[in-house]
Structure 1
Amino acid sequence: MRAAVVTDFGGPEAVQIIERDIPEPGAGQVRIKVAAAALNPADAITRSGVLPADPPMGFGWDVAGTIDAAGADTGWAVGDAVVALEDNLVKALGTHAEYVVVEGSAVAAAPTSVDAVHAATVPLNSLTAAQALDLLDLKPAQTLLVTGAAGAVGGYAVQLAAHQGIEVTALAGEKDADFVQSLGAARFVARGGAPGRHDAVLDAALLGETALEWVRDGGAYAGVMPPFLPAPVRGIRTAAVTVTADGARLKDLVALVDAGILTTRVAETYPLDDAAKAHARLAEGGIRGRLVLLP
């Protein structure tokens, strides 16, 4: 099968398409024939060589596709349309391939309201947003500031928090005001503005100490990248989400997609063979929605 890997760390040109044996699922695992797989900033981190690991390394966290083979005791059957998260930060092969093996517990039935391309944008970003909100432990009517609110994680965080009855202020670029308010933000603040203090901040934009200043004394801060977690001040609880695969939680999030509560966004699609071009487009920035690879 074909798979995207990096053998020498570097820029987008370092992405290679190689041939590998089709992986076999073990007990509790399933093999998914990949229909679509999103490209995320985490893949750029893998490519750059920041992680403490040696190449070759595979790319890809999200997958939408069809069960192709199943080990014992998975509860899944060949032919099931599914989505899943492959949550290993360091991997020899990821979801940017024709086939991927994941734990059966990481899998959820695919949404029925969107196609595989859009479904592939759900697992990583929605689970990251949901698990970050878990860290904040907010109650209805409490106030939350989401930085990077127009991004993939930030957008899901706004929608999930608003659905829970939390009063959301969205911090994003000025041109994104209408968009983030359509997601359920009660208030919009343009990047560079003064959001004031809130019960909590979900810092999807990685602003760190700057965002921490917008949390009230004794409030809570959740980041989305542990190495950039700021030190706590003024009695504020600080934590950063390390996203983990959770098929049961993903099932709930898929249900919210089908209910129209979570909005999927696809910016562009690329053939798997053009993975390097997709990485180059990601590096350019200014993307609203995810780039998706098609084997």
Structure 2
Amino acid sequence: MRAVGILEYGRPDVLEVIDRGIPDPSPGELRIRVAAAAVNPTDLMLRSGELAAYMAAFEPPYIPGMDVSGTVDAAGAGTLFALGDRVMAFVNPFRPQGGAQAEYVVVPAADTVLVPPGLDLIDAAGLPMNALTAHQALALLGLRRGATLAVTGGAGALGGFVIELAAHRGLRVVAEAAAQDEPLLKQLGAEIVVPRHAEPTGAPPEPHAAAASLAERYRTAVPEGVDALVDAAVLGAPVLGAVRDGGAVVTCRPGPLAPPRGIVRHELNVMAYPDKAAALTELAALACEGLLSPRTDALLAPSAAPEAHRRLAAGGVRGRQLLVFDGAFDGRRPAAS
């Protein structure tokens, strides 16, 4: 079978389409014939070597990818899925067989759910990892209806899912955006959109100062401070000025952070999120009802993985880039929606 492989760490061009044997499922596992697999920031970290410590026990090639959609091709003992079922799944790439970007992927049945008939099978590949992460962020915060939530990076995949889920749950969402993204964030459910950039005053500000300035603009919009912040853009400590005393922040990357003023920090770890199937079932239903937007940005052949990595690293991707493995790929590249 074809798979996207990392034979050595480095720049995007180290990614290759390789040939591997088709894996067999063990009890409690499914083999999925892959329709599509999404490209995520974690894939870039894996490819560059930032996550080498997590792969030290395994031999290359490493297969990236954390979410997948397709059809059940084989089922191990103790599973309740039928051959041919349309499914989507969360995939752990930190294992000997690697991640989702291959023609066939074996996954635990517990991390797999049916794709509802009203949801496009290829688009469904854009849901599991980022939507599940957004679901975890809101679960960690446990905010009541009417609470105010700030979201950085709202136009990105994770931030967009956080906005939609939060709005669906009755939260007041405040998000930052460049001018061209303001209509998108309003469509996703942000009640208040804060300008991403301050008025130009000369030389571009340093990143720390820019984030601090953004916190001030959040405070202008919500003078009392927001109840919580999901930092999907990984801006860190400077943006904490947006949060009220005793509020909360959800961070998306590990690292040192000592929030001031009694602010509680929650760290995302979607790998450890319990009962993924229940959350994925809810997310699939919301997507089918139009309350959660897969927002496919591009459909790409597996050989285009290096270009997908370059685009994601450059920023500005407004949706999910999906590597399509089924035989029906025709080169379509739909605009983000």
* Percent of pairs with identical residues: 44
Which consecutive aligned stretches of 4+ in structure 1 deviate over 6 angstroms post-superposition?
A: none
Q: Note the C-alpha offset of 1:212.
A: 1.6
CA contact (8 A) 2:70 2:122 kept: no
| Structure 1 residue runs without a partner (length 5+) | none
| 1:133 is aligned to 2:130 | no
| 1:204 is aligned to 2:232 | yes
**Aligned match of 1:50:** 50
| Greater shift in the superposed pair: 52-61 or 164-173 | 52-61
Opposite residue 239 of structure 2, the aligned amino acid is A
Match of 1:235 among 252, 258, 262: 262
Give the whole-Å Cα distance in 2 for the aligned partners of 1:203 and 1:45: 18
**Aligned match of 1:148:** 153
- TM-score w.r.t. the length of structure 2 is 0.84
**Aligned match of 1:28:** 28
**Aligned match of 1:72:** 77
Match of 1:254 among 273, 278, 284: 284
**Aligned match of 2:11:** 11
CA contact (8 A) 1:267 1:288 kept: yes
**Aligned match of 1:224:** 252
> What SS does the aligned partner of 2:106 have?
strand
Deviation digits for residues 216-247 of structure 1, max 9, x if unmatched? 111110011223x6213211110111113611
| 1:275 is aligned to 2:298 | no
| Structure 2 residue runs without a partner (length 5+) | 198-213, 220-224, 326-337
> What SS does the aligned partner of 2:126 have?
coil
Q: Cα RMSD between the aligned structures?
A: 1.4
- TM-score w.r.t. the length of structure 1 is 0.96
Give the whole-Å Cα distance in 2 for the aligned partners of 1:283 and 1:236: 31
Q: Note the C-alpha offset of 1:56.
A: 2.8
CA contact (8 A) 1:158 1:183 kept: yes
Give the whole-Å Cα distance in 2 for the aligned partners of 1:144 and 1:281: 29
Opposite residue 234 of structure 2, the aligned amino acid is L
**Aligned match of 2:65:** 60
> What SS does the aligned partner of 1:23 have?
coil
Give the whole-Å Cα distance in 1 for the aligned partners of 2:170 and 2:94: 33
Question: Based on CA coordinates, which of the two structures has the bigger radius of gyration?
Answer: 2
Number of equivalent positions: 294
Give the whole-Å Cα distance in 2 for the aligned partners of 1:152 and 1:274: 20
Match of 2:102 among 97, 110, 123: 97
Which structure: greater strand fraction? 1
Q: Note the C-alpha offset of 1:128.
A: 0.4
Q: Note the C-alpha offset of 1:75.
A: 1.0
CA contact (8 A) 1:122 1:264 kept: yes
> What SS does the aligned partner of 2:218 have?
coil
> What SS does the aligned partner of 1:251 have?
helix
| 1:195 is aligned to 2:218 | yes
| Greater shift in the superposed pair: 122-131 or 186-195 | 186-195
Give the whole-Å Cα distance in 1 for the aligned partners of 2:237 and 2:115: 38
Give the whole-Å Cα distance in 2 for the aligned partners of 1:274 and 1:178: 30
